[in-house]
Chains A and B, each alone.
Chain A
């Protein structure tokens, strides 16, 4: 029969020699391998202090985008909610009143917008469905929580800081540009 691999070794049933019966050479050989790892590169990442770089297509928590004038882009068209396979997104729309033009880009806007992060599967279909470039999946995890109540994310958690009124918050939320 042809061997499945060239590296297979026949098990030897010979009685052990004296050197083998002492076990010490084998122990030192094994410890040598163990201690040699001290001088090798560590693969461990010390998580809270150090963070592994995300893949460019990583899909994390959602953000609701604003345009360059700081107006909310979302028009509550409902395409994200209809695309959502987990039915996690709900919203209520309202009409923009005269005098609110600096807040909302279009005449209709999402007065309430919620994503149930317990249901969300982070598939990114909402991002793909959005015709207004309003929703994006960021590079942040959904944080752990003790109660389920904390996972209903509303607009106050998701809308990015306004670049006009809160430039520091905007810069902080935007983060530093990727190195690669």
Chain B
């Protein structure tokens, strides 16, 4: 691949010059916006990813300047490189939109649709994709694939039922850690992500498989069922970490750190990998230097009720004292006297793993 040859490619009537060897998907991402096809399995930071999920299908209406014939079928844009003078239709082609809606339904065939339980809900790419295409329900009436849930080590929970077999985690584990311990067992309908004989995944960077997972198949056990992502405030923070860059997003509620994730860019991809110590063990605000609120997409449920970039920073102002010339109200109800939720002395974020009935037992107070 030489950087000098630039190919002119037109995607949805927008032209751009890209280096030869660029895939259609990456060319579309350079244009940005709605032109970029969605991708469930392609991950620009993982070599060899892509070509599995088929959500990035596009129509090539003109092959190239030299051979202007259209490609006979829709092509996977993450695996097709651009040609000079290529014309691509993504959202302007009804064929593509229709095919993609079908792909979403196929992806949801074996998906349990247990979004109310799933910790990924609210930041799930499959959820976004299915709602974008109006396929959030299902027409499938038969028994779905079922698997038992696995613990991959003490930090990662694997829900194989939710998996769409995108292989991102396999690539991530392989390329980040250099020692591959998990992969896909069996074939076809039976294939499942697994570690051989329930072997623990123990590696400094293995927590990143949680971030690369586009669905809720791999989730953080230290955050499991603690809170919903849209009730947390995402804050950019950093610390001096000897193993990784230490640049993370903290998901706070009040001062409690409920979850630590890597920072994700506009395509939902991790900007910098973070180590397990940062991700799972630093759950105190004193461990971190907070930089400020993270910019959350206006359309995300996480930013509901907030303006973009202000999630968690809007504090209510006390009006009574201002109105009464500084006098305090005589009757105040401290909500913690009555309420059993968010009790100050129970810090859910400090419980290892999900809370159980015994954590809320009055005897433990």
By a beta-carbon cutoff of 8 Å, the part of chain A in contact with chain B is 75-79, 81-82, 90-95, 97, 100, 106-108, 111-114, 116, 131-132, 148-149, 152, 154
Contacts and interface: CB of A to CB of B under 8 A. Distances in A.
A77 B228 CA distance: 7
B296 to A, nearest CB: 14
B355 A94 contact: yes
A161 B176 CA distance: 53
A108 B219 CA distance: 14
B197 interface: no
Contact of A132 (B116, B301, B338): B116
A64 to B, nearest CB: 14
Contact of A78 (B231, B339, B357, B359): B231
B248 interface: no
30 contacts: A75-B116, A77-B116, A77-B121, A78-B227, A78-B228, A78-B230, A78-B231, A82-B228, A82-B230, A82-B231, A90-B339, A92-B341, A92-B342, A92-B348, A92-B355, A92-B360, A93-B227, A94-B356, A94-B357, A94-B360, A97-B357, A100-B357, A108-B225, A108-B354, A111-B360, A112-B341, A114-B340, A131-B115, A132-B116, A152-B338
Contact of A95 (B231, B342, B355): B355
A107 B149 CA distance: 11
B225 A94 contact: yes
Nearest to B361: A111
User: What size tier do the contact residues of chain B reach?
Assistant: 20 to 34
A112 B360 contact: yes
Given A76-B225, A149-B338, 10 more contacts: A77-B116, A77-B228, A78-B228, A92-B341, A93-B225, A95-B224, A95-B355, A106-B114, A116-B339, A152-B338
B354 A90 contact: no
Contacts of A116: 335, 339
A154 B340 contact: yes
Q: Which label, helix, strand, loop or mixed, suits the secondary structure of the B interface?
A: loop
A90 B342 contact: yes
A107 B116 CA distance: 11
Contacts of A131: 115-116
Nearest to A91: B341
Contacts of B225: 76, 93-95, 108
Interface string B221-244: 000111110110000000000000
B317 to A, nearest CB: 16
B113 to A, nearest CB: 9
B337 interface: yes
Interface string B100-117: 000000000000001111
Contacts of B289: none
Contacts of B348: 92
A36 to B, nearest CB: 51
Nearest to B353: A95
Contact of B339 (A76, A79, A114): A114
B333 A82 contact: no
| Residue among B115, B116, B354, B355 with the highest chain A CB neighbour number at 10 A | B116
B285 interface: no
Contact of B231 (A75, A81, A97, A100): A81
B304 interface: yes
A149 B337 CA distance: 8
Nearest to B332: A148
Contacts of A79: 116
Given A77-B116, A82-B230, A131-B116, A95 B339 contact: no
Contacts of B360: 92, 94, 111-112
A75 B304 CA distance: 21
Contacts of B115: 77, 131
A95 B114 CA distance: 14
A107 B225 CA distance: 10
A5 B333 CA distance: 57
Nearest to B359: A94
B154 to A, nearest CB: 15
Contacts of B335: 116, 152
Contacts of B341: 90-92, 112-114
A91 B342 CA distance: 8
Given A77-B117, A78-B228, A106-B117, A97 B301 contact: no
Interface string B251-270: 00000000000000000000
